[in-house]
C-alpha cells in the first residue's frame, strides 16, 4: 500500500513540474508538457482502477477465509460430538492397540544345543569339517539373531518411527506367508554375515544337521527366498 502511494505521489510531482513549464510561455515546451502530462494522468487513472479492483478482491478473500475458518470450527465440534456417540468398542486408543499387539506376539524360540552323544550320532558325511564346539557356536549365533529380529518385530508397526525403522518392519512383514504363521524364521540376509555361516560348506552342513534333527524346516518361495523356520519344541 505504501509503495503504491509513493508511486502515485511521484507521478503527481511530475505533473506539477510540467505546469511550471507551461507557465514559461514557450510553445514547444508547453505542448510537450501537455502530452507528457496527459499520458501520465492516463496511467495514473489505469493504476488507480487496478488498485481498486485489488482492494475489493482482498476484501473478498478475507471474507472467504473467515467463512472457511468458521466451517472448520463447526466440523471440529461436530467430530467431537460424533465420537461421543460411537460405541466404546469402536474407539481404540493407542494403548489399547499396543496391548492387543502384545497379546499376538510370537514366542521367540531357541535352538537347543547338541549334547555330545547327539553330535557323535551325526553321519560323518553330514558333519564335514564341523566339530562339536563349532556346531553349538553356530546355534548360539542363530539364536541371537533370531531373538534380536523378533524382539523388534513384536513391537509392531510404529507409524511415528523413522523411515529406516518402518521400512525394516515392512520388509520383514512381506516375508511372511501362510506357511510361516506362528513360526519364527531367518533368511539368508540375516545369516550370511554370521561367522559360523560365512562359507557355503559350513552353511550346508549346519542346515543339513538341523533339518536331520527336526530343529528347523525350510520354507521356500516365492522366487529364490528360503526361510529357515525354527520348529524345535513345536
pLDDT digit string, tens, across residues 152-197: 999 999 988 899 999 999 999 999 999 999 999 999 999 988 999 9
Above 80 in pLDDT, residue 227? yes
Q: Verify that 162 and 199 share a domain, yes or no.
A: yes
Q: Which of 85, 115, 143 marks a domain boundary?
A: 85
Beta bridge partners of 54: none
Q: CB neighbours of 136 closer than 8 A, spacing ≥ 6?
A: 113, 114
Q: Verify that 60 and 174 share a domain, yes or no.
A: no
Domain containing 188 equals 94-230
Beta bridge partners of 187: 227
Residue 113 in grid coordinates: 544345543
Q: Which of 61, 85, 109 marks a domain boundary?
A: 85
Q: CB neighbours of 134 closer than 8 A, spacing ≥ 6?
A: 196
* CATH label of the domain that carries residue 98: 1.10.10.1890
Q: For residue range 107-123, list pLDDT tens digits in order.
A: 899 999 999 999 999 99
pLDDT for residue 103: 41
Out of 86-90, 148-152, 168-172, pick the least confident: 86-90
HSE of 5, CA atoms in CB hemisphere, 13 A: 2
Q: Verify that 132 and 212 share a domain, yes or no.
A: yes
pLDDT for residue 100: 44
Do the beta carbons of residue 184 and residue 145 sit within 8 Å? Answer: no
Beta bridge partners of 230: 216
The tally of domains found in the chain comes to: 2
Of 100 and 214, the structure prediction assigns the larger pLDDT to 214
Mean pLDDT throughout 198-224? Answer: 93
Above 80 in pLDDT, residue 128? yes
The phi, psi pair for 187, rounded to 5°, reads -115, 175
Q: Verify that 81 and 99 share a domain, yes or no.
A: no
Beta bridge partners of 229: 185, 217
The Cβ of residue 165 has, within 10 Å, a number of other Cβ atoms equal to: 14
Q: Verify that 216 and 169 share a domain, yes or no.
A: yes
Tell me the C-alpha distance between 205 and 110, whole Å: 19
Q: Which of 85, 108, 129 marks a domain boundary?
A: 85
Q: Verify that 105 and 157 share a domain, yes or no.
A: yes
Positive or negative CA dihedral for 21, 23, 28, 34? Answer: positive
Of 52 and 129, the structure prediction assigns the larger pLDDT to 129
The Cβ of residue 234 has, within 10 Å, a number of other Cβ atoms equal to: 10
Out of 19-28, 45-54, 222-231, the most confident range is: 222-231
Name the E strands within 179-225: 185-187, 216-220
pLDDT for residue 76: 78
Above 80 in pLDDT, residue 84? no
Q: Verify that 196 and 139 share a domain, yes or no.
A: yes
Q: For residue range 24-53, list pLDDT tens digits in order.
A: 555 455 555 555 666 666 666 777 777 777
Candidates 146, 143, 136; CA nearest to 114 is 136
Q: Verify that 177 and 118 share a domain, yes or no.
A: yes
Tell me the C-alpha distance between 172 and 165, whole Å: 11
Above 50 in pLDDT, residue 19? yes
Q: Verify that 18 and 98 share a domain, yes or no.
A: no
Q: Verify that 39 and 116 share a domain, yes or no.
A: no
First to last CA, the chain: 80
Q: Verify that 98 and 209 share a domain, yes or no.
A: yes
Q: Verify that 47 and 109 share a domain, yes or no.
A: no
pLDDT for residue 7: 58
Q: Measure the CA angle with vertex 169, ends 204 and 192; round to 5°.
A: 20
Candidates 42, 50, 47, 61; CA nearest to 7 is 47
Q: What is the mean pLDDT of the chain?
A: 80
Mean pLDDT throughout 190-212? Answer: 92
pLDDT for residue 5: 56
Question: What Rg do the C-alpha atoms of the chain give, in angstroms?
Answer: 41
pTM (two decimals): 0.57
Tell me the C-alpha distance between 171 and 193, whole Å: 18
pLDDT for residue 97: 47
Tell me the C-alpha distance between 146 and 128, whole Å: 25
Amino acid at each position: 500500500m505504501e509503495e503504491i502511494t509513493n508511486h502515485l505521489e511521484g507521478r503527481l510531482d511530475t505533473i506539477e513540474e510540467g505546469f511550471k513549464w507551461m507557465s514559461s510561455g514557450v510553445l514547444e515546451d508547453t505542448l510537450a508538457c501537455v502530452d507528457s502530462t496527459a499520458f501520465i494522468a492516463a496511467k495514473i487513472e489505469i493504476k488507480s482502477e487496478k488498485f481498486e479492483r485489488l482492494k475489493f478482491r482482498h476484501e473478498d478473500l478475507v471474507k472467504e477465509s473467515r467463512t472457511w475458518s468458521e466451517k472448520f470450527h463447526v466440523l471440529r465440534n461436530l467430530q467431537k460430538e460424533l465420537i461421543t456417540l460411537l460405541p466404546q468398542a469402536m474407539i481404540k486408543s493407542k494403548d489399547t492397540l499396543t496391548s492387543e499387539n502384545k497379546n499376538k506376539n510370537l514366542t521367540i524360540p531357541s535352538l537347543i544345543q547338541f549334547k555330545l552323544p547327539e553330535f557323535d550320532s551325526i553321519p560323518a558325511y553330514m558333519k564335514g569339517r564341523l566339530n562339536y564346539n563349532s556346531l553349538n557356536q553356530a546355534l548360539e549365533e542363530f539364536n541371537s539373531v533370531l531373538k534380536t529380529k523378533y524382539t523388534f518385530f513384536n513391537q509392531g508397526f510404529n507409524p511415528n518411527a523413522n523411515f529406516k525403522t518402518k521400512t525394516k518392519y515392512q520388509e520383514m512383514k512381506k516375508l511372511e506367508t501362510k506357511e510361516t504363521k506362528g513360526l519364527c524364521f531367518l533368511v539368508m540376509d540375516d545369516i550370511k554375515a554370521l561367522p559360523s555361516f560365512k562359507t557355503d560348506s559350513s552353511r550346508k552342513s549346519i542346515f543339513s544337521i538341523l533339518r536331520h534333527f527336526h530343529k528347523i524346516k525350510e520354507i521356500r518361495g516365492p522366487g529364490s527366498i528360503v526361510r529357515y523356520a525354527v520348529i524345535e519344541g513345536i
